[in-house]
Structure 1
Amino acid sequence: MSEKNFKDRVLDSTAKDKNEIEDWMYGPGGKVLGAILVLLGIWTVVRIFWS
């Protein structure tokens, strides 16, 4: 296998992984992370006012 083919394969797999991560973030993963951040924000505000 030539050096160019190896680099192309690595770049192709990196782009594929990036696309899969972006698809997850814009799909259900983004909603889960957003919900967690909102809950942490509410928890912080409640702790500040409670003490």
Structure 2
Amino acid sequence: MPALAWAAVAVAGLWGGGYTLKKFNELVGDSSKYLIAGGVLYVGYKAAKKGKLL
């Protein structure tokens, strides 16, 4: 896959993650959102690693 396509996927993921965190901020307290963000990043990393994207 070309580098430009990977960059587009990364930007879309970051935008989607930011939107999700914004919505979670409305639902949970400040300390919980960092725990959730860390979990999302960890699961995404593991999925990418298992799919041999990294």
Q: Taking structure 1 as the reference length, what is the TM-score of the superposition?
A: 0.52
Q: Taking structure 2 as the reference length, what is the TM-score of the superposition?
A: 0.49
Give the Å deviation of 1:14.
0.5
Question: 1:21 matched to which residue of 2?
Answer: 21
Give the helix-richer structure, 1 or 2: 1
Show structure 1 runs of 5+ residues with no match: 34-51
Larger radius of gyration: 1
- Identity across matched positions, percent: 3
Q: Deviations over 1:1-51 (max 9, x none)?
A: 01100000000001011000000112x21xx34xxxxxxxxxxxxxxxxxx
Runs of 4 or more consecutive aligned structure 1 residues displaced over 2 Å after TM superposition: none
Alignment of 1:34-49 (within 5 A): none
Show structure 2 runs of 5+ residues with no match: 31-54
Larger RCO, structures 1/2 (Cα 8 Å, 6+ apart) = 2
The answer to whether 1:12 aligns with 2:16 is no
